[in-house]
Amino acid sequence: MAGVGCTSRAYVVPEALQARIDPSVTFAMMQEDPMVHQGAVVLLGGEVLTATRLKEGTRLEILQLPLDGSDEPVIERTASQGRFLAFESSFLDPATLPPHTRVTLVGELTGVAHANLDEMDYRYPTVMIQHLHIWPEPDSNHPGYSAPRYGIFGGGSTGGSGGGGVSIGIGF
């Protein structure tokens, strides 16, 4: 079910599923009227917000993120168009999908679920997972990675005049 590593589309999306994906169904269309597109097989990406073990499988709440040319979700959360729920009929240990895990999945659009999101009623498009690809955590050299970087630099002089300095920098 899950794969980790290589970024070629053939590895992210198994060849047997590639032809079944309906690229005309966008996430915005899924949100607007999921029942019109019920049964469509879609390619989605995002970041796991929660993974919950259920009697009948596992439910993932995912922050949708657009996919790049390698079918990898982009890093910037502000590019998200919303959230969706993905269901897996087998057991996925929630510890293997902690918050912030980035995933790409192929799933069949099954409809919509309503749930509270803070103080509002939220419509979550729902999909049944057919294939799940788990991406490794991005390293600090990944394009778009914006975590702070810290450094401490020092210098001195051994010449006749005294001098020296220390610099502390934080970069983003």
Write the pLDDT tens digit of every residue in 100-112.
999 999 999 999 9
Q: Is the pLDDT of residue 160 over 60?
A: no
Given the DSSP bridges, would you call strands 149-156 and 2-3 parallel, antiparallel or unpaired?
unpaired
pLDDT more than 70, % of the chain: 74
| H or E element that contains 87 | strand 83-88
**CA distance linking residue 124 with residue 82, whole number of Å:** 8
Fold topology of 2-144: OB fold (Dihydrolipoamide Acetyltransferase, E2P) (2.40.50)
Per-residue pLDDT tens for 53-109?
A: 999 999 999 999 999 999 999 999 999 999 999 999 999 999 999 999 999 999 999
In this prediction, residue 158 carries a pLDDT of: 53
User: Which one has a higher pLDDT value, 17 or 161?
Assistant: 17
Contacts of 67 (CB under 8 A, 6+ apart): 43, 44, 45, 73, 74, 104
With bands split at pLDDT 50, 70 and 90, how would you rate the model's confidence at 3?
very low
In this prediction, residue 132 carries a pLDDT of: 96
Per-residue pLDDT tens for 137-152?
A: 876 555 555 555 554 5
Domain ranges of the chain: 2-144
Please give the structure tokens belonging to residue 73.
Answer: 């979700």
Q: Computed from CA positions of residues 10, 11, 16, 21, in that sequence, does the dihedral angle turn out positive or negative? A: negative
In this prediction, residue 139 carries a pLDDT of: 66
Give the number of other CB atoms < 10 A from CB of residue 44. 23
pTM of the prediction? 0.75
| H or E element that contains 28 | helix 27-32
Given the DSSP bridges, would you call strands 102-117 and 164-171 parallel, antiparallel or unpaired?
unpaired
pLDDT more than 90, % of the chain: 67
**CA distance linking residue 160 with residue 81, whole number of Å:** 63
